[in-house]
A and B are shown apart, each in its own frame.
Chain A
Amino acid sequence: MSVLNKELNLSDLHQGDSLPSAVKHITQKEINLYAEASGDFNPIHIDESFAAQTPLGGTVAHGMLILAYVSEMMTAAFGKSWLEGGKLSVRFKAPARPKDILTITGKIDSIEYKEGIPHVNCGLESHNQKGETIVIGKATVKLSS
């Protein structure tokens, strides 16, 4: 069954539950592919000699690429409800660099009702292999009926 069509039962969701985590290996090849696909050719992402001379000291992944991984985790957890009722607010705390291994995790912070519709509030985090926080934020999913 497609993850988009999976049944989501509110009774299966509880405060404190962890969302299925995702692990991603960042490579320069992947960053270049993302630049091609998205049309974002900022040299900080793709030009190693330029990026080496900036305070970042080297190329970094696009923030929107990291958010694609976050969204993938949320889609795996909440299916179509995320695609048509998801809300995300994040800060990029540190750059994700080529050769980094990112782990994206999430946890249900609370479930609340707004106008009778359940909303699941989640805390999100992505950290690299050194334990440095790359992305931190929160997400809310309005559950479809």
Chain B
Amino acid sequence: MQNKNNDRLPITFEQLVAGYEFPPGSYELKHSVIAKYLEAVGKPGKQSSPALEFIPPMAIAAYTMTAVLQSLSLPPGAIHTAQELEFLKLVPVGATVNCRGRVAQKLNRGKLHLLVIELDALNQDQEKVLSGQATIVVPS
């Protein structure tokens, strides 16, 4: 998976504020990319199946997270603690997905920081195919 818009310097966690919008990204979910994803989630038999017409929505969620967060430099040890997702439309294998992310909340909890990021994925017609919210705990 390659984000086509990965040409900016990462923003640091300290620079983030609520409301910050990450640079939009896009990526192409080719058959080979989905095959690699399916192998990783333990479904290698499905990768060559002609029945695989649609991208598993968790693959779209994972690639959207990666595309959005690759413009963010998080301290090592950051942990994903909660996730909300809504799958809105089927996406055929081979489609290009556009994604965007926004900081919904940034909170301090003693030695830990809580980051809530809203995510959207859109198809080539700019229709929303997935939306979600990730909560990440970041160590000091």
Contact = CB atoms under 8 A, between A and B. Distances in A.
B76 A44 contact: yes
Contact of A38 (B40, B78, B83): B40
B81 to A, nearest CB: 5
B80 A92 contact: yes
B88 A36 contact: no
Interface in A62-113: 62-65, 67-69, 71-72, 75, 80, 82-92, 95
Given A2-B51, A44-B79, A34 B87 contact: no
Interface string B52-74: 01101111011101100110001
Interface residues of B, number: 40
Contact of A63 (B70, B74, B80, B89): B80
A129 B129 CA distance: 35
Contacts, number: 123
Contact of A80 (B80, B83, B86, B90): B90
Q: Helix, strand, loop or mixed for chain A's interface? A: helix
Contact of B87 (A84, A90, A91): A84
Interface string A1-26: 01010000000000000000000100
Contacts of B58: 64, 67-68, 71
Contacts of B37: 37-38
A63 B43 CA distance: 17
Given A68-B58, A84-B87, A85-B87, A38 B80 contact: no
B87 A40 contact: no
A43 B81 contact: no
A32 B70 CA distance: 18
Contacts of A65: 40-41
A54 interface: yes
B42 interface: yes
Interface residues on A, range: 35 or more
B68 to A, nearest CB: 11
Contacts of B80: 62-64, 92
B79 A37 contact: no
A50 B76 contact: yes
A116 interface: no
A88 B40 contact: no
B61 A64 contact: yes
Contacts of A71: 56-58
Contact of B85 (A36, A56, A87): A87
Interface of B: 1, 33, 36-37, 39-43, 51, 53-54, 56-59, 61-63, 65-66, 69-70, 74, 76-90, 139
